[in-house]
Amino acid sequence: MKKFLKFFAYFFGAVLTIIIIFLVGLTVYDSIQMHRLESKIVQLKLGDSKEKAIQILGKPDYSWNKGEPEFTIFGKQKYYENSGMAYGKIMDWENAFYSDFPYFYPFKFRLFGPGKDDISIYFNGKDRISKIEIPKE
């Protein structure tokens, strides 16, 4: 029985260590990615095309098109006025802990549009950049 408990303790410790290393690695990747995006976003100007934005910044984390329904908490039907793209972090440490299941979920879930800390690019009807929002830290 002691051998089993010792094995279980080592196994649990190894799994926990791997999970911690994985989360730390994702956090470091997030920081590097956001720094890279912030340094590349200065290459974009108002009036540039959507294709140029994707070429410079890469595939967006979240995108929406004009006329798509925007989710609201109160159930009112609202539609996006313009298309756009958002770039942001994978991890969301500000809202990672919950009082009910799953208790710990540090990943960002973008269902209701871009997050407040995402880099957002809005386009006009001709798919030209009309507004760029960069979060302030």
pLDDT tens sequence across 105-137? 787 776 667 778 889 999 998 889 999 998 876
Q: What is the pLDDT of residues 21-73, one digit of tens each?
A: 998 998 899 889 988 998 999 999 999 999 999 999 999 988 888 767 666 66
Residues 6+ apart with CB under 8 A from 119: 37, 38, 41, 86, 87, 88, 132, 133, 134, 135
Residue position matching structure tokens 């929406």: 64
The one-character DSSP state at 128 is B
Residues 6+ apart with CB under 8 A from 113: 62, 64, 70, 71, 86
- Of 79, 87, 98, nearest to 63 by C-alpha is 87
Contact of 88 with 117, CB cutoff 8 Å: yes
Tokens found for residue 106: 């540090």
What whole-number distance in Å separates Cα of residue 101 and Cα of residue 30?
Answer: 25
Tokens found for residue 117: 């800390």
Contact of 129 with 122, CB cutoff 8 Å: yes
Q: What is the pLDDT of residues 67-110, one digit of tens each?
A: 676 666 666 666 677 888 999 888 877 777 777 777 787 877 76
Q: What per-residue confidence (pLDDT) applies to 43? A: 93
Q: What per-residue confidence (pLDDT) applies to 65? A: 82
Half-sphere exposure of 60 (CA within 13 A, CB side): 23
